[in-house]
C-alpha cells in the first residue's frame, strides 16, 4: 500500500537550516501540544490557535534569523514561554494558520550571578524556580512570581503579566519590572538590541549596570507587551542580600471594617513594616489577616513586628491559638498557588474567581459584587471552600477576588461554563467601566479588552509605535485587536 507523504510547512527547510531539524516540527501532534494551557478547564477557555510549525531556537542569533525569514515571507511569529498562560494560547485571533510558534525554552542559561555589582543575567527561557534557587544559593534575593514558579519562564512573565510578573512579596516589592535593569531583545525586524545602561547605550561597557543611563528608559516598553514589540532573549536584574529572618503571623480582626482600618494605616507607613499582607474572609465569620516579615537582623524583625502587632491590636485584632489555626487552614487553601498539593485532590477543581487589580478604596465593593454574582449564578454547584482575599499592591491598589474549591462530584465543565460566561460577559466590562480597575494579564483576550479602554490618543500612539517597530506586522499581529 502506498503511504501518503506529508507536505511540510513552506518554511520547514529554511527553519531547519537555522536551528537544526531536531528543533523544528510541523507534525500535527506537536503543533497541537503547544495549544494546551493549565487553565483550559479552570477558566472554560478553549485551546489556542494551532500553529503551522514549531521551532525551538537556542541562541539570540537564531531568533534573529527566524524573525528575518518571517519578514521576508510575511509569516506571523508567536513567541511562547513555559506554557503557564491564563488564557487560550496561542491567542486564536493572532496571525494565520501558517504561524511560526517560537518555543523559547531552549534559551535557559543563567549567564552570570554578579555579586560585586549585585545583578543577575539570564536567558529568558529559564524557569523561574531554577533562577530563584540559583540566586538564593549565592545568598541573594530576586523577587519572582509564584503562579506557578515551576512552569513560568522569565520571558513569559515579563511579556504576559502586568509589570512583568507579581512576586510573592507584591505588597511591598512591586512587580519584577522594579528590579529589571535591561534586556537583550530581538526586534520585529530581526535587529538585536540591548536596553538599559550597558552595551546598547555605551559600546565601551559590556555589562548592563543601570536602567536609565545613556538614553531614554525604553526597557519598560518591552514589559507586559505580550511579545508584540520584540522577543526577549536575555534579562538583567538587580538582586539584593537575602533576608535571613522570617516571621509569619495571623490576626482575627473580627470584621472587615476593623481589618480595613488596619490595612489603611499599615500601607501608609514608610518604610513598610511588613513584607507580605493578605486579608482573608472564609464566609463563616472569620475575618483574618496574615502577614510575613522578612528582615536582615533580629532587631529589625522585632521592630517591624511591634509596629504591625500594635496596629492590629489597636483596630480590634486578636491573635493566639484559635486565630493561628484558622489562619493556617486558610493559608493551606492558597497552597494551590504551589500546584494545589494540599487541597485540590479533595475537590474537582478550583478558581481564583474575579481576581483583578482594583483601587484599594473600591476593594470591598468589588468583593460584594463578586459574591452577589456567585450567589446568583453558582446555584446547584457545591462549593466546598469559598474565601474572599485581598492583598495590597504597594499603596494604591489591591489584588482581590474569591478563591473557590468545588465538590469532587461537580462536573468540571459545569463550573467552567459559569466562569467562562462571567469572564466574557461581565468581568472586563464591569472591572474597567464601573470600578476603574485592571486585569493582571497581558495576554490573550485580556489584551483586547484592556485596549478597548484606551483613550483615542493612546491607541493612536500604540498603533504608530507598533507600525514603526514592526512594519510588516509579523510579531503577534492583532494582539490588541487592531
The pLDDT tens digits along the chain (482 residues) read 444 556 899 999 999 999 999 999 999 989 888 887 766 555 545 678 899 999 999 999 999 999 999 999 999 999 998 877 766 667 777 888 899 999 999 999 999 999 999 999 999 999 998 999 999 999 999 988 766 567 789 999 999 888 878 888 889 998 999 999 999 999 999 999 999 999 999 999 999 999 999 999 999 999 999 999 999 999 999 999 999 999 999 999 998 899 999 999 999 999 999 999 999 988 766 889 999 999 999 999 999 999 999 999 999 999 977 766 666 666 666 654 444 444 455 555 778 899 999 999 999 999 999 999 999 999 989 888 899 999 999 999 999 999 988 887 888 788 888 888 898 889 989 999 999 999 887 777 778 888 989 999 999 999 999 999 999 999 999 988 87
106: left (phi over 0), alpha (psi -120 to 50) or beta: alpha
Question: Which H or E run contains 341?
Answer: none
300 CB-near residues (< 8 Å, 6+ apart): 245
Residues in a beta bridge with 182? 236
pTM, two decimal places = 0.91
CA angle centred on 479, ends 168 and 17, rounded to 5°: 95
**CB of 229 within 8 A of CB of 469?**
yes
Helix (H, G, I), strand (E, B) or coil at 305: helix
What phi and psi, each to the nearest 5 degrees, are found at residue 285? 120, -30
Strands 276-281 and 287-295: antiparallel
Distance separating alpha carbons of residues 184 and 196, to the nearest angstrom: 9
CB 88 within 8 A of CB 46: yes
Using a CB cutoff of 8 Å and minimum separation of 24, what contacts does 337-346 make? 337/146, 337/147, 337/148, 338/146, 338/148, 338/149, 339/148, 339/150, 343/385, 343/405, 344/405, 346/384, 346/405, 346/408
Domains, the chain: 12-105 (3.30.43.10), 116-241 (3.30.465.10), 244-329 (3.30.70.3450), 343-439 (3.30.70)
Could you tell me the sign of the dihedral formed by the alpha carbons of 69, 75, 76, 81, in that order?
Answer: negative
- Grid cell of 229 as nine digits: 514589540
pLDDT of residue 405: 85
The predicted pLDDT at position 420 comes to 82
Provide the grid cell at 268.
501608609
Name, in order, each residue with C-beta under 8 angstroms of 145's C-beta and a sequence gap of 6 or more. 128, 152, 157, 161, 165, 166, 167, 168, 176
**Pure H helices in 86-226:** 128-137, 154-160, 170-173
pLDDT for 83: 76
Amino acid at each position: 500500500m502506498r503511504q501518503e507523504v506529508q507536505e511540510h510547512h513552506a518554511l520547514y527547510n529554511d527553519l531547519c537550516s537555522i536551528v537544526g531539524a531536531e528543533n523544528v516540527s510541523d507534525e500535527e501532534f506537536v503543533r497541537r501540544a503547544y495549544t494546551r494551557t493549565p487553565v483550559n478547564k479552570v477558566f472554560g477557555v478553549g485551546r489556542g490557535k494551532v500553529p503551522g510549525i514549531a521551532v525551538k531556537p537556542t541562541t539570540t542569533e537564531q531568533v534573529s534569523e527566524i524573525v528575518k525569514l518571517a519578514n521576508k515571507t510575511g509569516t506571523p511569529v508567536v513567541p511562547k514561554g513555559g506554557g503557564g498562560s491564563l488564557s487560550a494560547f496561542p491567542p486564536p485571533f493572532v496571525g494565520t494558520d501558517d504561524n511560526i510558534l517560537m518555543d523559547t525554552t531552549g534559551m535557559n542559561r543563567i549567564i552570570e550571578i554578579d555579586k560585586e555589582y549585585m545583578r543577575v543575567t539570564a536567558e529568558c527561557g529559564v524557569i523561574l524556580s531554577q533562577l530563584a534557587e540559583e540566586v538564593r544559593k549565592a545568598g541573594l534575593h530576586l523577587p519572582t512570581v509564584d503562579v506557578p514558579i515551576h512552569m513560568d519562564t522569565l520571558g513569559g512573565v515579563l511579556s504576559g503579566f502586568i509589570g512583568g510578573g507579581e512576586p510573592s512579596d507584591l505588597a511591598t516589592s512591586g512587580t519584577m519590572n522594579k528590579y529589571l535593569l535591561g534586556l537583550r531583545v530581538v526586534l520585529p525586524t530581526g535587529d538585536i538590541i540591548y536596553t538599559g545602561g550597558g552595551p546598547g547605550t555605551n559600546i565601551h561597557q559590556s555589562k548592563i549596570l543601570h536602567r536609565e543611563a545613556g538614553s531614554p528608559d525604553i526597557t519598560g516598553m518591552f514589559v507586559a507587551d505580550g511579545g508584540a514589540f520584540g522577543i526577549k532573549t536575555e534579562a538583567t536584574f538587580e538582586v539584593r542580600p537575602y533576608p535571613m529572618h522570617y516571621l509569619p503571623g495571623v490576626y482575627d480582626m473580627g470584621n472587615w471594617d476593623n481589618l480595613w482600618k488596619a490595612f489603611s494605616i499599615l500601607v501608609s507607613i514608610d518604610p513598610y513594616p511588613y513584607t507580605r499582607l493578605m486579608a482573608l474572609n472564609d464566609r463563616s465569620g472569620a475575618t483574618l489577616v496574615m502577614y510575613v516579615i522578612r528582615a536582615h537582623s533580629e532587631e529589625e524583625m522585632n521592630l517591624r513586628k511591634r509596629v504591625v502587632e500594635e496596629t492590629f491590636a489597636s483596630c480590634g485584632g486578636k491573635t493566639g491559638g484559635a486565630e493561628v489555626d484558622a489562619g493556617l487552614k486558610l493559608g493551606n487553601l492558597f497552597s494551590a498557588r504551589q500546584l494545589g498539593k494540599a487541597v485540590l485532590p479533595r475537590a474537582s477543581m478550583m478558581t481564583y474567581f474575579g481576581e483583578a487589580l482594583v483601587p484599594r478604596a473600591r476593594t470591598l465593593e468589588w468583593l460584594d459584587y463578586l459574591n452577589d454574582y456567585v450567589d446568583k449564578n453558582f446555584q446547584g454547584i457545591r462549593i466546598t471552600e469559598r474565601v474572599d482575599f485581598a492583598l495590597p499592591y504597594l499603596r494604591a491598589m489591591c489584588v482581590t477576588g474569591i478563591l473557590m474549591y468545588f465538590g469532587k462530584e461537580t462536573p468540571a465543565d459545569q463550573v467552567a461554563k459559569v466562569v467562562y460566561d462571567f469572564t466574557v460577559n461581565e468581568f472586563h466590562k464591569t472591572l474597567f467601566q464601573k470600578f476603574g480597575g485592571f486585569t493582571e494579564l497581558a495576554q490573550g483576550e485580556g489584551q483586547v479588552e484592556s485596549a478597548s479602554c484606551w483613550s483615542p490618543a493612546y491607541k493612536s500612539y500604540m498603533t504608530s509605535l507598533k507600525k514603526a517597530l514592526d512594519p510588516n506586522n509579523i510579531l503577534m499581529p492583532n494582539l490588541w485587536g487592531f
